[in-house]
Structure 1
Amino acid sequence: MLETIEVSRVKRFAANTVGRDIAVGDIHGHFTRLQAALDAIGFDPTVDRLFSVGDLVDRGPECEDVIKWLNKPWFHPVRGNHDDYVVRFDTCDIGNWMHNGGTWFVGLPRDEQQNYQVMFQDLPIAIEVETTQGIVGIIHADCVFDTWSQMKSELESPQSYKRLKLVQNTCMWSRSRYEQQDCRPIPDVRAVVVGHTPIEQPCVLGNVYHIDTGGWFKDGSGHFTMLDLATLQPLNPA
């Protein structure tokens, strides 16, 4: 397995030649459920890799366990909008964040808050994974650009800080493709995998795969979708 090459806000992964590459939907502080889902598909941490569409924290009971997961060498998330709250904890709309599950964070000592901030700042906005059929892109919410390359260029070589913030926020917050049921494919990438919008079952619009199927739902009615990046098919429990 080749080493990763990190360039700015986009992280690239060479093909996994010894195991599986799997993407999972939003986690929201439910790491015990996530581990159970991995166990159910026979995930092998010695050869397999898990790519997360982000939203690692908020809403669930195990948000502080995110530190353990970020230290796992096979776990690779992008930054979701809830993760970005942590990055901006001292400047964001705290009331909105608390309303959306951020209460776990406010009682932490200041140095711990800053430690989370540093870790989450290091999360890329986008990930590229090589597969035998081509590149699969991973972002949290949406690619609103005509091409994946244009989005990467905007992230890696922004015209201004203001423009960068706009593009990052779009990648982490937009639901326009899903809301408009836009089936136009992104032409220069095999597929793009996103979360952010909770749905009952995975949905494919063009070549964009929406996989947040509510594994984090409080009532347990949802499930974690595990998408095999080689086949672009959800994995069923063994």
Structure 2
Amino acid sequence: MQPSHGVIEQRYHPRMNGPTYPIVCRHPVNESGRDFVVGDLHGCVDALRYLLHEIGFDGARDRLFSVGDLVDRGADSLAAIDLIDKPWFYAVRGNHEDSLISVATGTMRRQSWYAIGGEWAESVSDEQLAQLAARLATLPLVRIVGEGAQRFNVLHAEFFGCDAELDTADFPDDVRNQILWGRGLALGHADPAQQYGLSPTYCGHTPTRTVKQIGAQIFIDTGAFASDGRLTIVQPGTDERWSVKERWATAEGAGALALP
């Protein structure tokens, strides 16, 4: 079960002949500990272990929000998926989770997924993949933390609109696609003014060398899976940030560090 400082409201999107999936989850302000947001993991769990140790993360009081893309490209996608069972870990769905689900439900070919980093699953049976997809399907597209001046949002790629539009949890297909796959803002192809009325919103998807803020949106994917990239954790509402290379964390023995 999630601790008492977890989800207080969920809005659901019905799917014909199937379960309902959360679209937006709301969380109260964390009164007992600290909140952090981590960039795209892509299976780099050793780097996460190292950073959680570095920041003195307390699983009983602190919370870690994830901008998604837990799987693909890195060393241990299965261990990254297991994080969603941790009571202190709150992820949103990324395009790589969405791709895995699409393969499992027959709307995307395995080879298409392998081409974007899913080749780790070549030995995973269709039945096993369906089980992984069922777990990942529980992830919302958006998490909203706090209210008013303390509010921040977490989603995968980008969003154009205000908090009120995000709150509706009623996203047409083009907006859903933007939340999962959009790169216009990060690549300079979109007008930041389209974010008017949006609280600080933490995103990933488009790798940047360092944390980069454009308007209300803060991009924190620093390419954890890449040889010259790092995994980054930030503390919302502050300038605090921590980064480490996966191979360096592994060499330092991070694999032996216990997760909270």
Work out whether the TM-score is over 0.5. Answer: yes
How far residue 3 of structure 1 moved from its aligned partner, in angstroms, is 4.1
Is 1:206 aligned to residue 194 of structure 2?
no
Residue correspondence of structure 1 range 11-30 to structure 2 within 5 A: 11-30=25-44
Partner of 2:102: 88
- Contact kept? 1:21, 1:230, Cα under 8 Å: no
Where in structure 1 do 4 or more consecutive aligned residues deviate above 4 Å?
Answer: none
Q: Aligned partners of 1:68 and 1:87: how far apart in 2?
A: 16
Amino acid at match of 2:79: D
* 1:26-84 CA distance string (max 9 Å, x none): 00011111111111111111111000000000001201113421110000000000010
Partner of 2:236: 229
How far residue 185 of structure 1 moved from its aligned partner, in angstroms, is 6.8
Structure 1: segments with no counterpart, 5+ residues: none
Is 1:105 aligned to residue 121 of structure 2?
yes
How far residue 131 of structure 1 moved from its aligned partner, in angstroms, is 6.2
Amino acid at match of 1:168: R
Amino acid at match of 2:10: E
Is 1:193 aligned to residue 208 of structure 2?
no
Residue correspondence of structure 1 range 77-156 to structure 2 within 5 A: 77-89=91-103, 90-130=106-146, 133-144=149-160, 146-153=161-168, 156=169
Q: 1:196 to 1:21 in 2, by over 3 A?
A: same
- Contact kept? 2:44, 2:80, Cα under 8 Å: no
- Contact kept? 2:202, 2:219, Cα under 8 Å: yes
How far residue 116 of structure 1 moved from its aligned partner, in angstroms, is 0.8
- Structure 2 SS opposite 1:176: coil
How far residue 132 of structure 1 moved from its aligned partner, in angstroms, is 7.4
Q: Aligned partners of 1:59 and 1:68: how far apart in 2?
A: 17
Question: Which residue of 170, 176, 179 maps to 1:171?
Answer: 179
Q: Aligned partners of 1:15 and 1:185: how far apart in 2?
A: 27
Q: Aligned partners of 1:93 and 1:234: how far apart in 2?
A: 41
Q: Aligned partners of 2:142 and 2:201: how far apart in 1?
A: 10
Q: Aligned partners of 2:110 and 2:125: how far apart in 1?
A: 16
Q: Aligned partners of 1:3 and 1:85: how far apart in 2?
A: 27
- Structure 2 SS opposite 1:167: helix
Question: Which residue of 69, 82, 86 maps to 1:55?
Answer: 69
How far residue 6 of structure 1 moved from its aligned partner, in angstroms, is 1.7
- Contact kept? 1:185, 1:207, Cα under 8 Å: no
How far residue 201 of structure 1 moved from its aligned partner, in angstroms, is 0.4
Q: Aligned partners of 2:242 and 2:47: how far apart in 1?
A: 15
* Count of aligned positions: 226
Amino acid at match of 2:179: C
What percent identity do the matched residue pairs reach?
30
Q: 1:187 to 1:45 in 2, by over 3 A?
A: same
